[in-house]
Structure 1
Amino acid sequence: MKIDLHTHSNVSDGTQPPAELVAAAAAARLDVMALTDHDSTDGWAPALHAAKLHGVGLIPGMEISCKTARGISVHLLCYLQDPLHPGLLEEISKAKVARQTRAERMVERLAEDYPLNWDDVSAHVAPGATVGRPHIADALVAAGIVSDRNEAFASILTSHSRYFVSHYAVDPVLAVELVRAAGGVPVFAHPVATGRGRVVEPEIFHDMIDAGLLGLEVEHRDNPPEGRAWLRVLARERGLFMTGSSDYHGAGKPNLLGENLTSPDALERLLEWGTGTAPFLP
């Protein structure tokens, strides 16, 4: 089986509508995919309809933006959670509002130096989508200021840039607890991706595991080889399952559907733990 448990549609920062994303997964001969848009489950319904049409297994999920007390960004994948769980929904709603406000402030700063305004950014945001820096990057590309998203993030939109604005994000330990309370399965996304910035210390891993973390996304293009080796040891020591995923964003990133895969055994463990929402498995 070909199983890819980390993809994004234009409900967050991917470039394809959910139905088109599922069609692309079918064309890539995936047997099972997960839709994991940032801080949103709005793509679940159209993705499910397309999954039934194309005969692709669908694991409904989400990627939660988190931040430690030291300000280190953590991304938590969750699967099969109840999307209406009050505690989880409250935190996700706070994060979405914070992302919107943060994006508006960043555009205000950028407009001082570049021919860019909020309408330029809004043109790249699908209705109801979670706004993020990738949408600002797309506007910068469209304006001819940078060549692609990667250049934007490496220069103008880096966290060290004077245009950068931080935003509220839930503590990762609390996020794990809320996902488990919602019947979901929490998995630490690209946990040692040093190229993305600072990574958390081992203590945070263990705190998240103690709170109910169930898996680690080991096979991901941004995890360096030595980091993957460390993650495998940690997973064995703490009884976690390991996943492999593409983190596909359509044209937004070079990542390809199915470039890293999850084993059927890991999927089986995920399905055993997830009780908040049913998967679609044809």
Structure 2
Amino acid sequence: HILGYGLDPHHPLVQESLGRVLEGRAWRNEQILEKLNELGLELDWAEVQACAGEDIVGRPHIAQALIDRDYVSAMDEAFDKYLAKGRPAYVDRYRLYPEEGIRMIREAGGVAVIAHPFSWETDDARLEAGLRTLQALGLGGIEAVYSEYTPEQTVTLLRLAKRLGLLVTGGSDYHGLAKPDIALGRGFGALDVPDTCLPPLLAALGPDNPWVTTPNLKVER
């Protein structure tokens, strides 16, 4: 994933890119439901939409609909049996290429940061090479503090960020129903993103960025 901090959500390139992503997601959802129905697991769109409420429909909502129909007993079972990659109802999704995402974020005034990079590449040397390639395209930072990282992995990424001159950010990877054990901002309970991550990020975004708010927080830019 490429994270975008401080970007203008109304920028034409953002709207155009997100439109393509949403169209791809809608097509994917239809294909997943077709596959499930072919497997004898009858679901209709209204059931899935009811699980999503006002959220954008994704696989977690389809999984919840399967639970509600008693086809499976838990979210993990829905993914393990049907919805995960390689399972019978899996459908690949449309995604932006990294260079497209980075360009979109930068043109919209934001800073592009790669999320949990060890999920992308676990070999240190290959990871550094990949980050250098993305940095040449405009990548600005690394999510070095993350719910599922060991202390050793965090230290490795902090050192890598310093060596490459990239910003450091952190995140819980909260995904609602998809990851019920992860709390927003706290991960599994012990996540602590250092306050020292914020000033460099704000400085990179600039003092006039209208999409950055820091209520009740005094930060020297």
Normalised to the residue count of structure 1, the TM-score between the two structures is 0.65
User: Residue 165 of structure 1 is aligned with which of 71, 74, 91?
Assistant: 91
Out of 112-121 and 95-104, give the one that drifted further: 112-121
In structure 1, the partner of 2:201 is: 270
Q: CA deviation at 1:100?
A: 0.9
State the Cα distance separating 1:180 from its structure 2 match.
Answer: 1.2
Give 2:66's match in structure 1, choosing from 115, 130, 140. Answer: 140
In structure 2, which of residues 19, 28, 35 is the aligned counterpart of residue 109 of structure 1?
35
Distance 1:173 1:149 in 2: 33
Distance 1:225 1:143 in 2: 41
Q: Kindly provide the CA deviation profile for residues 96-144 of structure 1, in whole angstroms up to 9, marking residues without a partner as x.
A: 11001101110111012213222221111233x3221111111112222
CA distance in 2, matches of 1:225, 1:146: 36
The aligned residue for residue 213 of structure 2 is 279
Work out which of the two has the higher radius of gyration on C-alpha atoms and give 1 or 2.
2
2:183 corresponding residue in structure 1: 256
Q: Which residue of 2 aligns with 1:220?
A: 146
Q: Residue 134 of structure 1: SS of its match in structure 2?
A: helix
Identity of aligned residues (%): 33
Question: How far apart, in 1, do the equivalents of 2:118 and 2:212 lie?
Answer: 30
Question: What one-letter code is carried by the residue in structure 2 that aligns with 1:120?
Answer: E
CA distance in 1, matches of 2:82, 2:30: 15
**Larger relative contact order (CA 8 Å, sep ≥ 6):** 1
Q: Give the counterpart of 1:122 among 49, 60, 66.
A: 49
Give yes or no for contact 2:51–2:61 (8 Å, CA) kept in 1: yes
The structure in which a higher percent of residues are helix is: 2
Counterparts of residues 38-53 of structure 1 (less than 5 Å): none
Alignment match of 1:246 (pick from 166, 172, 187): 172
CA distance in 2, matches of 1:192, 1:76: 13
CA contact (8 A) 2:60 2:177 kept: no
Superposition map of 1:12-161 within 5 A: 75-113=1-39, 114-127=41-54, 129-161=55-87
Question: Is the partner of 2:117 in helix, strand or coil?
Answer: coil
1:217 partner SS: strand
Alpha carbons 2:80, 2:87 under 8 Å: kept: no
Q: Which has the higher strand share?
A: 1
Counterpart AA for 2:107: A
SS in 1 for 2:82: coil
- Computed over aligned residues only, the root mean square deviation of the Cα atoms, in angstroms, reads 2.3
Further displaced range: 200-209 or 232-241: 200-209
In the alignment, structure 1 residue 193 sits paired with structure 2 residue 119 = yes
Query: CA–CA distance in 2 between the matches of 1:146 and 1:191?
Result: 32
Measured after TM superposition, the shift of residue 268 of structure 1 is 1.2
